[in-house]
Structure 1
């Protein structure tokens, strides 16, 4: 069971990690090239768009996986129905947003850069359409194609960014034939917009790559109205939960930009990206595990698999956390320019908050497979309330960027606790010993990170000691993992 899961996860990881590595390489370039206030504009647009994508996705990816493994629906009908729903929602969004672009740019404070919004409307449109074909690849055990598409996508974007920034610094007296393309792009946007333009083209390229799947697998005649209604009923609560997650993840950056300054938001956002290393681990785990979760949902021993995999997720997540926090100065040196380092203190806090979120994501499978995604909506609202509470304190009483960071940690931690208390009677059967082990692992990891922060000269020794102790304690599980 574990071998196939591990192989697929590794292949998915290549397609997921490579683009992120490229993005982190560009992070160093952007923080060197841009002023902090310019970097703030870059991150703000992505924060806003992430919230919109959370709405437009309508929870249809999870919905597709859930209905795909229901015995009373054919696979081709499920896929055709869910894709047609997504196409309708995305097309409606694109038409409305283009027509309201001037009003929207005024509302969010981008009157001078309506072209940013124009490009992001198309990025969002292309990306939402690609969600389900990419999910189809995962559901049909095609990790190589999935990874290849992701790699081609990031290569297109990277080459375009390099080209545009090279032309920006190029001597105008030595123009080449390629310079004409740059002049066309430069005529309607600035150097921040170059990144958005490159993203738009790569998103369009992604659509072309998955288009054969849409042509082959989607048929209008296979659209099922009753199934569509059931899918929307299932997906809307997930969508509300996704929006809540988007608020938890992005409200701090949106408010810091507008309530303190672009300079502080630039530093906060750059350091937040370092903290997002833990999100890479969570996403990789999710790519390989989530389809497996739904496949196993009908098995009599499904709960055993969920619990054991969740335990391993926590164990490896804490190892990842210790290693990143133990080498935080090294990561900062190589990935972010010095002028952004003032927000370095948020990284351990945000990372632990994201790890809580990862555990929550794994445990949230219980309400999805019993067809009660509304539970996730209610719990997400708890998180949103805490996020708004901390950000209100931040706005009115103390403009310290540490307050939103602690808000993120407490929000995700509270969501995890509520979810566990909600599901433990009916679904989670973790024995008391396993719960005690999990708590001790958290305490031990936090203790090691605390000591490392105080005694940086012993950082490598403490990390090595931590790994030895963990392997000794959990040696049976590690051995089973590779068998």
Structure 2
């Protein structure tokens, strides 16, 4: 099968679970923002930011390590899986025990002393997700994308259903009659905590669905812990932890730090955090596309690396990727008057950060493509330094900009960070694994997107056009430009890509 078509088809399947599934999850944002005040929603944003950091630590980069070693030295693939799985079970079990024992002092430190249960609920979610992550990695490596997508969608459906059950049905029943069967299931003291409980139950269901894979990793053929293999895997994977942590700093530190950096009282800071986080959700379409691409792209890059035309294919992938990302940028920004209704009226003052965040995430996607150089050459430690440099830029920009410009400064910090990382990764890639990227076309499409966005603003603000009409016209213009300038060329290159051997 044509390699690019295979990558596109698997990205589409993974996109069902990440883009479609997460979009359904994204529909919970109106539920939260129309039900809870910004300060309450800020609690969810804060804890999910913490979860982003812990998720990286609790997987130890072993997903990528599994891809790297499963076909190495002709060893049984289940041996690599079993080794990673046993380690993750041990380390995550220990972290959950520590969270249960230390929940109160940790909650006091985070200024949530009235709700210590949030601590162990969060770690329990992460422990199950971390063990599940290595099972999902096995599904990806075995090209079982439909199985992967099915379990992901079931998990997301359970999470959505439980949110609706508790926050809508049970809460309304409690308001009508606190002594009713459903009303007794709603405790106002828990409130926003039902978001965590729904997630906890959904993660447990996911782990149950993955249990056949986990059982095979514990009792199946070759299911033993190989100490020598583990030492090789962890040496390769630990730099990926640094890369992941740096990535989370770049992606989520703003939501963890806003309450401490904003120059207001705690209540106002939490409200500002809630507003910013709700606006951040409007850039989620770009992130979901990048996530789907990562799921399909990482195993594809490793599997195709030995082919003669690999570097040309990687360059072509970047061209298509940027075309798609610019389309998403325009779709959201040109129709922002419609997308704004996904958040409550109290949150819409933050909509100005959406274009900045979309552009920043577009650059993050470019960096994901460029990072192939350190993964394929085993220079993960050098890749970690690029990510750590980006993290340092993020910290510096947040420190400088947030106290002065509020959450607008946090959005600009994202953009500056990813710009620096793209430049560094490209320069290092040219030295260690040169790929003939068509930089002029990539830059031209990004500039075209910015130009069309600016034209849309002018048409609606100065020329008094209808926003939907202007957006539709400009989006069609973008598609026409793509078709006329690059459509045939890119399709011809894609069709001519050498079949896999």
Task: Report the TM-score, using the length of structure 2 for normalisation.
Answer: 0.91
Report if the CA contact (8 A) 1:244-1:383 is conserved: yes
Report if the CA contact (8 A) 1:79-1:218 is conserved: no
User: Residues 353-399 of structure 1, C-alpha deviation per residue, up to 9 Å, x if partnerless?
Assistant: 11111111121121111111011210011111111111111355x14
Q: Which residues of 2 match residues 97-246 of structure 1 at below 5 A?
A: 97-165=99-167, 166-170=169-173, 171=175, 173=177, 177-179=181-183, 182=185, 186=187, 190-219=190-219, 222-246=224-248
Report if the CA contact (8 A) 1:360-1:419 is conserved: yes
Report if the CA contact (8 A) 2:255-2:273 is conserved: yes
Distance 1:194 1:384 in 2: 32
* Partner residue of 1:435 out of 411, 432, 439: 439
Distance 1:367 1:409 in 2: 23
Task: Report the TM-score, using the length of structure 1 for normalisation.
Answer: 0.94
Cα 1:482–1:172, aligned 2, differ >3 Å: closer, same or farther?
farther
Distance 1:269 1:395 in 2: 14
Report if the CA contact (8 A) 1:76-1:218 is conserved: no
Report if the CA contact (8 A) 2:390-2:418 is conserved: yes
Distance 1:174 1:388 in 2: 47
User: Residues 98-148 of structure 1, C-alpha deviation per residue, up to 9 Å, x if partnerless?
Assistant: 222122111111101111112111101111110010111111111121111
Extract unaligned runs of 5+ from structure 1: none
Q: 1:410 is matched with which residue?
A: 416
Matched, 1:464 2:476: yes
Extract unaligned runs of 5+ from structure 2: 263-268, 497-501
User: Residues 256-291 of structure 1, C-alpha deviation per residue, up to 9 Å, x if partnerless?
Assistant: 223331111111000011112210111111222221
Q: 2:305 is matched with which residue?
A: 297
Aligned residues: 475
Distance 2:209 2:489 in 1: 40
* Partner residue of 1:446 out of 441, 446, 450: 450
Distance 1:349 1:370 in 2: 33
How much has 1:413 moved relative to structure 2? 0.9
Q: 1:342 is matched with which residue?
A: 349
Aligned partner of residue 72 in structure 2, secondary structure: coil
Report if the CA contact (8 A) 2:70-2:76 is conserved: yes
Report if the CA contact (8 A) 2:283-2:357 is conserved: yes
Report if the CA contact (8 A) 2:371-2:383 is conserved: yes
Q: Which residues of 2 match residues 332-411 of structure 1 at below 5 A?
A: 332-333=340-341, 335-394=342-401, 396=403, 398-411=404-417
How much has 1:207 moved relative to structure 2? 0.7
Report if the CA contact (8 A) 1:9-1:289 is conserved: yes
Cα 1:411–1:257, aligned 2, differ >3 Å: closer, same or farther?
same
Report if the CA contact (8 A) 1:452-1:462 is conserved: yes
User: Residues 423-478 of structure 1, C-alpha deviation per residue, up to 9 Å, x if partnerless?
Assistant: 113312326xx221112112111111111122232222122111101111111245
Select between 16-25 and 146-155 the one with higher mean Cα deviation.
16-25
User: Residues 151-199 of structure 1, C-alpha deviation per residue, up to 9 Å, x if partnerless?
Assistant: 111122222212212111215548554555x16xx38x51201110010
Report if the CA contact (8 A) 1:105-1:117 is conserved: yes
Distance 1:395 1:435 in 2: 33
* Partner residue of 1:262 out of 264, 270, 276: 270
Distance 2:150 2:489 in 1: 32
* Partner residue of 2:45 out of 40, 43, 46: 43
Q: 1:423 is matched with which residue?
A: 429
Report if the CA contact (8 A) 1:234-1:371 is conserved: yes
Report if the CA contact (8 A) 1:56-1:89 is conserved: yes
Distance 1:89 1:301 in 2: 41
Distance 1:409 1:424 in 2: 23
* Partner residue of 2:293 out of 273, 277, 285: 285
